[in-house]
Amino acid sequence: MPGYEGYLNERVAALPELLRDAGYLTLMSGKWHLGLTEEHSPKARGFERSLAHLPACANHYAYEPQLEKPPADEADRTPDFMTMSYIALHREDGELVRKLPDNWYSSDGYGDKMVEYLQERSERSDDLPFFAYLPFTAPHWPLQAPQKYIKHYRGVYDDGPDALRQKRLQKLKNLGMVNENVEAHPVVADEVKKWSDTSQTERTASSRAMECFAGMVECIDANVGKVVKHLEESGELDNTFICFMSDNGAEGVAYEAYPIVQGQMMQHLKKYYNNSLDNFGNGDSFIWYGPRWAQAATAPSRLYKAYTTEGGVRVPFLAQFSKPVRQAKPELHNNTVRKGEWKIVFIPKPKGPEKWQLYNLKRDPGEVHDLSEQEPERMKMLLKEWDRYVLETGVVPLAPELGEWLEAREEQMVKNAWIEYEYWHEGARDDSENFTRKPWRMERVVRHMA
């Protein structure tokens, strides 16, 4: 559909383009995920200096053994999404990076590069205002972090995700961030075992994975600190607006529970990675933590990333700014509308009832009590906002039949038809032109009647 081309389309003006044209120095270091080719790179969309990680995710240490000598039967095979996600593909100032620095770790690399760009500005005595964008790929899986951070959390999570969820929820209550009588949404994780049903070996591996996640978060904190320290030393901290936020709720997918993944991804991991317990967190390990730990992070909210429940859309937000920000309009996404303390949401099966539900988030942040029948007029009003959004943006309308329609559509699409740059092939980074193609794009044509 138009607007879902796999890159930041040309029908919108990007923030760095606007700020660059207004006289700002624009800098970026970190995850892009808005286009693979040079014409869709940060340089083409307003950033004067940029080190950009192009795909959705990758090995944080740029460990890529599957690219060194691919077997003959795999060399020309179109990979699945997971296989592509292992590759640490980057562009700096629009040009492909053939090799990342030795001892690369993503968060350290992006933090150091941003400080480098800011230092260059200071050395030039540049008095232009600047816009700096520092999006980390951590703490996205694979869960990997320098061992010096991971070791800080040894044993912290040994009681399991349920105990952690209760501990964090109580801390929120103690801080006054949620009401004392809030009702937490029950954990939804039928695809994996309950903590009480796991063996000691499974518990140890699971809690160690969470230790790796915590190490990743601390490393992010350390690299944000590098940038803040530079601003402080250059005398610009008090004159700089700083905003820190995340992109979505905790990642809760249990890849080991999906048969389609077991046939491809799991075999790949066994072949190229060492997931022994003592190796957790290193570059040649590849682990994730699953839905129960994710819901420990999102309590008292419902579910996690990929759902527009509160567990999937509430994120950390910290800012240093002078004026309050007020919500003036309804907040709309592909299957939810929020206006003030009221929200409607549509969650497909098996995680939801596959119908519109209504919640009061002030009284019920866990989205436990559906008020659609008690508040039909409010439900009708918010559904009107959704219908208007569908007409204005062209998104696919929600209905129980949507899943069947999507499945039929995907059967007729060539796999990975949207990808412009087949970067996973041997030699693709040295000769990008021969691995770049122009896929067909659907275009929306507006005709004005006389």
How many other CB atoms sit within 10 Å of the CB of residue 90? Answer: 25
| Tokens matching residue 323 | 């004026």
* 252 touches 304 (CB < 8 A): yes
Alpha helix segments (H runs only) across 49-126: 65-68, 72-75, 81-84, 106-123
Backbone angles phi and psi of 308, in degrees to 5: -90, 25
Written as tens digits, the pLDDT of the chain (450 aa) is 666 778 998 888 999 999 999 999 999 999 999 999 999 999 999 999 999 999 888 999 999 887 666 555 554 555 565 566 678 999 999 999 999 999 999 999 999 999 999 999 999 988 889 999 999 999 999 999 999 999 999 999 999 999 999 999 999 999 998 999 999 999 999 999 999 999 999 999 999 999 999 999 999 999 999 999 999 999 999 889 999 999 888 999 888 877 766 667 788 888 889 999 999 999 999 999 999 999 999 999 999 999 999 999 998 899 987 444 455 567 777 888 999 999 999 988 888 898 999 999 999 999 999 999 999 999 999 999 988 888 887 776 666 566 666 666 666 666 667 788 888 888 888 888 898 988 766 665 666 666
Q: What is the distance between the alpha carbons of residues 157 and 165, in angstroms, rounded to a whole number?
A: 11
Query: Residues 242-265: pLDDT tens digits?
Result: 999 998 889 998 888 777 666 677
Extents of the domains making up the chain:
327-400
Q: What is the distance between the alpha carbons of residues 361 and 344, in angstroms, rounded to a whole number?
A: 10
In the beta sheet, which residues pair with residue 96?
Answer: 91
Cα 440 to chain centroid, rounded: 27
3-state helix, strand, coil in the chain (%, to 5): 40, 10, 50
Q: What is the distance between the alpha carbons of residues 142 and 96, in angstroms, rounded to a whole number?
A: 23
Q: Please report where in the chains the tokens 């296989």 appear, as a residue.
A: 83
Q: Which one of 3.40.50.1000, 3.30.1120.10, 3.50.50.60, 3.30.450.20 gives the CATH number of domain 327-400?
A: 3.30.1120.10
* 332 touches 389 (CB < 8 A): yes
Q: What is the distance between the alpha carbons of residues 421 and 442, in angstroms, rounded to a whole number?
A: 18
Q: What is the distance between the alpha carbons of residues 155 and 211, in angstroms, rounded to a whole number?
A: 8
Task: Kindly write down the DSSP assignment for every residue of 170-188, as one continuous string.
Answer: HHHHHTTSS-TT--PPPP-
* 29 touches 117 (CB < 8 A): yes
